Amino acid sequence: MDIVGVILVGGRGERARPITVKAAGYLRSKAAMSFCGKRLIVWLLEGMRRQGVHEFFVVALGKENRYQTKTLVGHGDDLGLNIRYSRVRHDRLNTGSGDATLRSLEYWDIESPALICPADSLYDFSLARLLASHHQRGALLTVAGMARSPSEVAGKYGVMIREDDGRVTHFLEKPSLNELRRQFHAGTGEGAETLMTNAGMYLMDSAAMRKYAHEPELRRLRERRLDFGMDLLPWAADRGLAIYAEPVDHTGDLGTVVDYIETTVDLLRGAFPTLSGLMGTPYDAKRRLWIPAETLQFRDEVSGKSLEEKLEEGLVTLGDNVRLGRYVEIGPGVTIRDSNVDDGVDIGPGVTIEKSAVRDGAIIGAGATVSRSYVGSMAEIGSTEECPTVLEEYVAVGDEALVQPGARLRDRISIYPRLKIPTTAAIPPGTEIRDANDVLHWL
């Protein structure tokens, strides 16, 4: 049976800033975020294509989301796909992701099963298995589920209450830890019982759902708000419709800086087997190293030696799970592990990079430590061996920003694009530096 893919490209990427901020007043759609060498929308489309989906609908909201996505993938010709987009005139009518999806299915007269997923997540799953379960149960909606501990769930994920056969009877949208304790008597320590969460991907019987969409009760909901997780799924479950949960193998959320970094490490470590083939041929498959020939033969200005020579002589250490882009210049004494480094990055002598993402054209000065952090495109981490700079614990430095030598940024600090962070800035954990006035505040 034919199946269509529906990619939800909405929102303003606020939780993922500064990754989703290209410049002041100019947002980058989450679908357009770069992730391990590809734009996120391309990961989603190519991953589904490998499982047999060739027709897609992008349900977008707003100029950035719609046209950045269209600029990247067009109508799918280069990917061997057919991609259509929601109508601009529907933007002012849509009241949420559920309503926007139903409106597009109606407009394009789609009655084939629809695989619906957001543009800020990755999934490792078997579509054949998901379809088989969906049809065997006669489901209206099959919700991709992921088992998580109560401490992971609280305030972040929707929880599904299921019967033994997997039928969903109730949804709790992002419950607090106290709510979980009341509902499930859930503990939080080691060995606590896992809960089945809504992973945000849905397989829908489009023809049946379109009929329900015009019932008075659902029409009233659509006039106010019809989000998938908060409205459509609870309505269907409370009505007793055939909503089932089906576990998938792995999910990765890229909606926040922390999630982006954790999902980067998961992908590099092989947590998404169905997507690994999209990363190209590895240099060392056993150790999960990707090094293109251009970088292997590239010489750094300090030693004058190629990366291949430095690896042979033990002058550079590459741990497992590393992807390097093309023409990356790596100085002597560098250590990289569990990280993605994109094209054209300059890495000075004595740098340590671990569990991090470094975007195209970034410069990492000598002696710097970048740990569990994100460095944006053409950002410069100024550092010297005498005055090293440290980024650790989910620091994000936006595109073209400059961090001066000796700065120490730690614990969920976000630096917006094109800002300059002086050595003397004492920025507390969890701070967003959005403009020059914010920088001055912490001097």
Residue ending a domain, choose from 274, 292, 318: 274
**Two tokens, residue 160:** 């599904």
Whole-angstrom Cα distance, residue 21 to residue 17? 6
Quote the pLDDT of residue 247: 93
Number of domains within the chain: 2
**190: burial class by Cβ within 10 Å (0-12, 13-18, 19+)?**
exposed
* pTM, entire model: 0.93
Q: What's the pLDDT score for residue 11?
A: 76
Could you tell me which of 21, 85, 4, 43 has the C-alpha nearest to residue 432? 21
Which of 274, 300, 327 terminates a domain? The answer is: 274
Give Cα separations from 179 to 151, 175, 186 (angstroms): 12, 6, 9
pLDDT number for residue 324: 98
- The residue among 139, 170, 173, 134 whose CA lies nearest residue 154 is 173
- Do 267 and 348 fall within a single domain? no
- Cα distances (Å, whole numbers) of residue 391 to 318, 369, 422: 19, 6, 14
Q: Is the peptide bond before 428 cis (omega within 30 degrees of 0)?
A: no
Predicted local distance difference test score (pLDDT) of residue 126: 95
Residue 84 sits in the same domain as residue 184:
yes
From CA 6, how far away is CA 141, in angstroms rounded? 14
In this structure, the answer to whether residues 256 and 175 fall within a common structural domain is yes
The 10 Å CB-count burial string (b at 16+, else e) for 19-46 is: bbbbeeeebbbbbbbbbbbbbbbbbbbb
Rounded-to-integer distance, Cα 37 and Cα 246, Å: 30
Residue 177 and residue 324 in one domain: no
84 conformational bin, left if phi > 0, alpha if psi -120 to 50, beta if neither: beta
Q: In this structure, what CATH number is given to the domain that contains residue 134?
A: 3.90.550.10
61 and 201, same domain (yes or no): yes
Angle at 174 between CA 124 and CA 233, to 5 degrees: 70
Q: Could you tell me if 61 and 189 lie in one domain?
A: yes
Are both 194 and 268 inside the same structural domain? yes
Same domain, 38 and 184: yes
Q: Express each pLDDT in 21-66 by its tens digit.
A: 887 777 888 888 999 999 999 999 999 999 999 999 999 988 888 8
pLDDT at 153: 84
Give the residues of the chain that fall short of pLDDT 70: 1, 185-192
190 and 327, same domain (yes or no) = no
Between CA 238 and CA 236 the distance in angstroms is 6
The boundaries of the domain holding residue 311 are 283-441
User: Do 249 and 337 lie in a common domain?
Assistant: no
Which of 274, 299, 316 finishes a domain?
274
Give the per-residue pLDDT at 190. 52
